[in-house]
Structure 1
Amino acid sequence: MHSRLTVIACPNRLPRIEFGGGLAARRTGPDTVHLVSAAATPLGGDVIEVRLIVESGARLMLRSAAATVVLPGAATLTSHADWQIEVAGELDIDLEPTIVAADARHACLTALHLHDGGSARLRERVQVGRSGERQGFWSGTLRVDRNHRPLLRHRLDLGAGSLSDDVLYAPRATVSEFRYPAICSTASADPRWTVLALAGGGTLSTRQDDLLTP
Structure 2
Amino acid sequence: MLSEVLLVAAPSRLPRIDCRGGIQARCTAPDTVHLVSAAATPLGGDTIEIRVVVERGARLRLRSAAATLALPGARTPTSDTSWQVDVAGALDVDLQPTVVAGAARHLSTVAMNVHAEGRVRFCERVQIGRSGERAGFWSGTLHVDQRERPLLRHRVELGAGSLADDDLGAPRATVSELRYPTTAFAIDSSFAIDSSQRPTVLALAGGGALRTWQGERLTG
- TM-score, length of structure 2 as denominator length: 0.94
Name the counterpart of 1:212.
218
| DSSP-derived class of the 1:27 partner | strand
Name the counterpart of 2:134.
134
Letter paired with 1:172 = R
Distance 1:94 1:191 in 2: 21
1:71-108 alpha-carbon deviations (Å, 9 max, x no partner): 00000000011100000000000000000011000000
Within-5 A mapping of 1:57-76: 57-76=57-76
Gaps of 5+ in 1: none
Q: How far is 1:169 from its partner?
A: 2.6
1:18-64 alpha-carbon deviations (Å, 9 max, x no partner): 00000000000000000000100000000000000000000000000
Distance 1:96 1:119 in 2: 21
Within-5 A mapping of 1:64-143: 64-143=64-143
| Distance change >3 Å, CA 167–CA 103, structure 1 → 2 | closer
Distance 1:101 1:145 in 2: 32
Distance 2:197 2:101 in 1: 29
- Are 1:200 and 2:206 an aligned pair? yes
Q: How many positions carry a matched residue from both structures?
A: 214
Letter paired with 1:11 = P
Q: How far is 1:190 from its partner?
A: 8.0
Gaps of 5+ in 2: 188-194
Name the counterpart of 1:165.
165
Q: How far is 1:191 from its partner?
A: 5.8
- Residue identity over aligned pairs, in percent, reads 63
Name the counterpart of 1:22.
22
Distance 2:183 2:34 in 1: 25
Distance 2:55 2:98 in 1: 28
Distance 2:86 2:6 in 1: 11
Distance 2:196 2:90 in 1: 26
Letter paired with 2:60 = L
Contact 2:197 2:215 (8 Å CA) reproduced: no
Contact 2:80 2:107 (8 Å CA) reproduced: yes
Superposed structure 1 runs of 4+ greater than 6 Å apart: none
- TM-score, length of structure 1 as denominator length: 0.97
Contact 2:183 2:207 (8 Å CA) reproduced: no
| Distance change >3 Å, CA 34–CA 90, structure 1 → 2 | same
Distance 1:47 1:99 in 2: 16
- Are 1:7 and 2:7 an aligned pair? yes
Letter paired with 2:219 = T
Contact 2:28 2:34 (8 Å CA) reproduced: yes
- Does 194-203 or 163-172 show the bigger shift? 163-172
- Does 39-48 or 159-168 show the bigger shift? 159-168
